[in-house]
Amino acid sequence: MLIDKAVETAPQTQQTENGQTESAIKPVSETAPITVDFERLQEENKDIIAWLYCPDTEINYPVVQSKDNEYYLRRLLDGTWNIAGTLFMDYRNAADCSDLHTIIYGHNMKNNTMFGSLPKYSKQEYYEEHSVLYLLTPKQNYKVKLIAGYVTPSDSKVYEFEKTKEERSGLLKTALDNSLFTSGTTVSDEDRLLTLSTCSYEYDNARFVLMGILKEIG
């Protein structure tokens, strides 16, 4: 598949003759730890609009977007039926992540694939070991600094798209008040939010959501 050849680990920092790393002797802009060839990916499926990666976890997947939130729920990139589905962005979102709040959905698989590892963020220790994700898009890459993770009903306000600063402040307060880990990250009014959502089983129609802020990187 083309997808196997479209993602590469970024080259490691080179050492100079005196043993110093290049980053130690001249400033460099932060970059994502992987590179993605979106042109090649979109030859396979034009619905691929991003790539989500979390170091040292199973999360290393393309993200698609279709005209609704149902198509990729149980479909792979080639359209075949599969219980695991594909990670997909809410159809109401701008594909370039320019919205104040972007939502990506994925299944909670028992083998930890897809979003099966998200509920592990209920433990402070796991958060501290995996506090950053990366979201890559064709035009801009982002570092995702996680700020909250909690269980919520499937009809909670986190799935509504807030239109005012007051609504957004309310969303943030709810997330931080209910978070099962403490991040200590300061969130500004200008920060764009990313929410990852998966099924949870504490009660009927429960969801585990992981929220972070998007920071542009090279």
- Residues recognised as catalytic: 107, 199
Euclidean distance between CA atoms 99 and 195, whole angstroms: 12
- Please give the angle made by the CA atoms of 146, 149 and 151, to the nearest 5 degrees: 160
Token couple for 131: 């506090």
Which amino acid, residue 131? S
User: What's at 184, amino acid-wise?
Assistant: G
Provide the 10 A C-beta neighbour count for residue 35. 15
DSSP 43-80: HH-TTEEEEEE-TTSS-EEEEE--SSSSGGGGB-TTS-
CA distance 57 to 53: 8
Residue 102 near residue 161, CB atoms below 8 Å:
no
d(CA 8, CA 22) in angstroms, rounded, equals: 21
Look at the block and give the residue holding tokens 């969130």: 187
